[in-house]
Amino acid sequence: MSVFAASATFVQAGAFDKGVTTGTLSIGSAQIFTEDYLIIGLGVGHYVIDGLELGLDVDVWSGGEPSIYEVSPRATYVVDNLSDVKPYFGVFFNRAFIENQTDSDSLGYRAGFYSPVGRRSYVGIGLVNTELQDCTETVSISCSDTYSEITFVFSL
């Protein structure tokens, strides 16, 4: 499976401060079951303490068969240091609902950095790794996948 993901996040002032709520729109692509998919996602997150965001994302995979929907609770920590570059790392659980097949679960982590691109906006560049649970490589091509992500964060 190959995946590319990009997303835009809109936040209130103080991009990584306690009490800030984020909304995310993401777009990506993947190939699985010899099918090409366009992935559209929506998410919401909330900083429970400075730098720590808890969130939930929902993705719809379209353009291929079978239909796939994903739900992913996540936690991301942003090191809001005095530097312009802000490292981030996070973990997530993913539940994939696959039409006419057994649903699948995966665990994953991500790491990267945010860098300012304007007075109140950041671009994030990172890597994501996912590990399918209850996976056998005789059924799946691979039980793990690593892909890049690009994220845009806007502070309102």
CA separation for the pair 111, 113 (Å, rounded): 7
Q: What is the mean pLDDT of residues 30-57?
A: 89
Please tell me the predicted confidence (pLDDT) of residue 17: 86
Per-residue pLDDT band for 12 (boundaries 50, 70, 90) equals: very low
Distance of CA 94 to the CA centre of its chain: 10
Burial 76-113 (b: 16+ CB within 10 A, else e): bbbebeeeeebebebebebebebeeeeebebebebebb
In the predicted model, what is the mean pLDDT of residues 111-138?
82
CATH for 2-155?
A: 2.40.160.20
**The predicted structure's pLDDT at residue 143:** 83
Q: How confident is the model at residue 5 (pLDDT cuts 50, 70, 90)?
A: low
Task: Output the pLDDT for position 141.
Answer: 63
pLDDT single digits (tens) 125-153: 899 999 988 876 544 567 888 888 888 77
Interval 51-100: pLDDT, tens: 999 999 999 999 988 899 999 999 999 998 878 899 999 999 999 998 88
Closest CA to 60 of 27, 36, 92: 27
Q: Which of 50, 142, 45 is nearest to 92 (CA)?
A: 45
Q: Name the pTM for this structure.
A: 0.81
